[in-house]
Chains A and B, each alone.
Chain A
Amino acid sequence: MRSSGAIAAQPSGLADGRPRHRIELRAVSSGYHGKRVLEDVSFVIEDPSIYVVLGPNGAGKTTLFRTIAGILEPYSGTVTIDGLDIGRHEARTRLQYLSHIDGIPDGLRVEEALRFYATVQGATDREVDKVVRLLGIEELRDRYFSVLSQGQKKRVSIARVFFHERGIYLLDEPTSNLDPKLAREIRDLVLALSKDDLVLYSSHNLFEAKEIGKYVLALRGGKIGYFGLLSELRPSRYVIGIRADGAEGLLPSSSKKGDYYLQELAGPQDVPKLVEELIAKGIRIREVKEMENPLEDLFS
């Protein structure tokens, strides 16, 4: 595992002609009221992909997002967006930030809340209408935000992020506190809208992270614990689960988890050999799957 570092330099433009964006942090320390939460964090991100930011509570995920978004001023170090200091207006107009908090002003209807944020962003009525249609929240326009369900609130909250095409999206736990079905719906929606952009996406859900992320940026104690391709991440133990008929007595039932018999192997290369051996013993294998999520190691 790489303890910290940068993704290798990429070509300066995308195949479709859109500008390539770049986030660079150099020796950034940041936090609250003088207490450092992030300590000497450096990385460069420029491959337009989904970067899942992981870490246990208090690791500094939200602080990292707030620092990149220019909400928190670093105690030391620099944050640049496309080479521009985040303190500059031009830098901020290149990214969109979604907090884990709704941030919708009190006492406003959905329409008014969206217009409020449209005013701040300089978005037109047409752009607001377009996003309202995209997110399917037309019927909520005249309702007060405070009376909406969690899922509806999340949709409205997300809407403001897509008024303008920005190219960089900082999404801090967009699916937190949602039930699994709604979380998937919101996740799919967000990812469809930010397709081909540079997305930093924080989550506590390791399976979600594994499903959507190309890169992983794991924070531990305010420092980068791992930054690299998710595909390069290997669990410390390689455990597979085998769902099979006729395995009683042939596979140890003590290691059974639900319908799956667990087998620890040296690595994926040993799976075909094991499967052949089990078939030779007359076991009818219905399914073989990896049971350990390599991302779990990042939390330990």
Chain B
Amino acid sequence: MREPSGAGPDDRVPSLAWTTIRRTFAIGWRYLAIGTALSLILALALLGSARHGTAFVTTFPLEVPLFAVLGSMGGLMTFTSDRTKGVFEYLIAYGIRSRTLFIDGLVSTAAMVAIILGLSLAVGLGAAGADRVALNENLWKSLSLYTVPMSFAGALFTAAVGMIWSSVSTPRTGINSPIGIAPMVGIAPTVLVLIVAESVPFSEFYYVTAGSAGAIVAAVVGLLAVSARLMGRERFLSPL
């Protein structure tokens, strides 16, 4: 009977998660820099506007997830590059499971999101505090129940879709490749959640956003678990 792809040799192979994060940082630093810079520019632009207090509190938390999705593309880029360059062929030969390759891609994506969020929130909130903007309860609620969870959920969704898509397709480069299209796909959930949340009473707004983020993350995990199990290992080999 055929062994599931997600299975394989046991877990005595050292984890490459930390190495993958460092490599993702090296490969995707431009995206990381652009995502972080855009969110900081947004924060400063909002604080510099005529209605700076209200504008910052209402707009800043809603926009940051978009930049987090964009800035964390390094995770997907590393995954796709490793597949094309034949790195996965060696890793699988050394006993690393296909499931682990996906997980490392997600972990490195999450690490990039954490960097963007850390910098954006620290600088944005710091600047707002210095500008004497009232950091009220609604702002904290928005950040904790929409910005942070949706940043991770949106970025992980992007990475998951991109990894699966690039695994089942012939590698292409440029904007017409999974990497080129993935950010647009990844931004969709963050926008859709906002649209849905706006249609419910305000008291339920954050239940919808936080719940949706949780559902997206669960979907990502489920999607990858199923993919790793159903996808043959040949999907991870370079076509070169």
A residues with a Cβ closer than 8 A to B are 32-33, 66, 69-73, 75, 87-89, 91-93, 97, 99, 101-108, 116-117, 119-122, 160
B93 at the interface (CB under 8 A from A): yes
Chain B 60-102 interface mask (CB, 8 Å, partner A; 1/0) = 0000000000000000001001100111011111111000000
Q: With the chains together, A116 CA to B13 CA distance in Å?
A: 13
Complex CA distance for A121 and B237, rounded to whole angstroms: 19
* Contact call B14/A106, Cβ cutoff below 8 A: no
The answer, among A33, A75, A103, A120, for a CB contact under 8 Å with B96, is A120
Residues of B within 8 A of A99 (CB): 86, 89-90
Chain A to chain B contacts (Cβ below 8 Å), 29 pairs: A69-B93, A70-B93, A71-B89, A71-B92, A71-B93, A72-B234, A73-B2, A73-B3, A75-B2, A87-B3, A88-B10, A89-B9, A89-B10, A89-B13, A93-B95, A97-B90, A99-B90, A101-B238, A104-B85, A105-B81, A106-B82, A106-B85, A107-B23, A108-B26, A117-B90, A120-B90, A120-B94, A120-B96, A121-B94
Residues on B with beta carbons closer than 8 Å to the beta carbon of A70:
8-9, 92-93, 95
CB distance from B237 to the nearest CB of A (A): 7
Residue-by-residue, is B217-240 near A (CB-CB < 8 Å gives 1, otherwise 0)?
000000000000000111001101
CB nearest neighbor in A for B84: A106
Chain A binding surface, main DSSP class: loop
Q: Is B184 an interface residue (CB 8 A)?
A: no
Output the residue of B3, B27, B237 with the most chain A CB within 10 A.
B237
CB distance from B58 to the nearest CB of A (A): 40
- Beyond A89-B12, A105-B85, A120-B96, is A71–B237 a contact (Cβ under 8 Å)? yes
Q: Are A105 and B23 in contact (CB under 8 A)?
A: yes
Residue B19 is within 8 A (CB to CB) of chain A in the complex:
yes
How far, in whole Å, are A295 and B102 apart by their CA atoms in the complex?
44
Q: What residues of B have a CB within 8 angstroms of the CB of A102 in the complex? A: 85-86
Report if A97-B93 is in contact (Cβ < 8 Å); known contacts: A103-B86, A106-B81: yes
The answer to whether residues A92 and B95 also contact, given A101-B238, A120-B13 and a CB cut-off of 8 A, is yes
Smallest CB-CB A-B distances: 5 pairs: A101-B86, A89-B9, A103-B86, A32-B234, A103-B90
Chain B residues lying within 8 Å of A117, measured Cβ to Cβ, are 90
Specify the chain B residue showing the minimal Cβ separation from A102. B86
Q: Does B192 contact A (CB under 8 A)?
A: no
Q: Is B45's CB within 8 Å of the partner chain A? A: no
**Which residue on chain A has the smallest CB distance to residue B10?**
A89
A127: min CB distance to chain B, Å? 14
Q: Which residues of A contact B2 (CB under 8 A)?
A: 73, 75
Report the minimal beta-carbon distance from A102 to chain B, rounded to whole angstroms.
Answer: 7
Nearest CB in chain A to that of B9: its residue: A89
When each residue 1-38 of chain B gets 1 if its CB lies under 8 Å from chain A and 0 otherwise, what string results?
01101011110111010010001001100000000000
CA–CA, A177 and B91, complex, Å = 24
Give the chain A neighbours of B26 by CB distance below 8 A. 107-108
CB-CB nearest in chain A for B91:
A120
In the complex, the answer to whether B8 meets A104 with C-beta atoms within 8 Å is no
CB < 8 Å neighbour of B95 from A33, A89, A103, A106: A89
Evaluate whether A73 and B5 lie within 8 angstroms (CB atoms) in the complex, with A33-B232, A89-B95, A103-B86 already known. Answer: yes
What separation, in Å, do the CA atoms of A33 and B91 have in the docked complex? Answer: 20
For A121, give the chain B residue with the smallest CB separation: B94
- Among A73, A88, A106, A116, point to the contact of B19 (Cβ < 8 A): A116
- State whether A71 touches B233 (Cβ < 8 A): yes
Q: Give min CB distance, A236 to chain B, whole Å.
A: 36
Residues A72 and B233 in contact, CB atoms below 8 Å apart: yes
Cβ contact within 8 Å between B81 and A87: no
CB-CB < 8 A to A104: which residues of B?
85, 87
Q: B104 CB to closest chain A CB, in angstroms?
A: 12
Given A71-B92, A103-B85, A105-B87: 8 more A-B contacts, CB < 8 Å: A92-B95, A93-B95, A99-B90, A101-B89, A103-B89, A105-B23, A105-B82, A107-B23
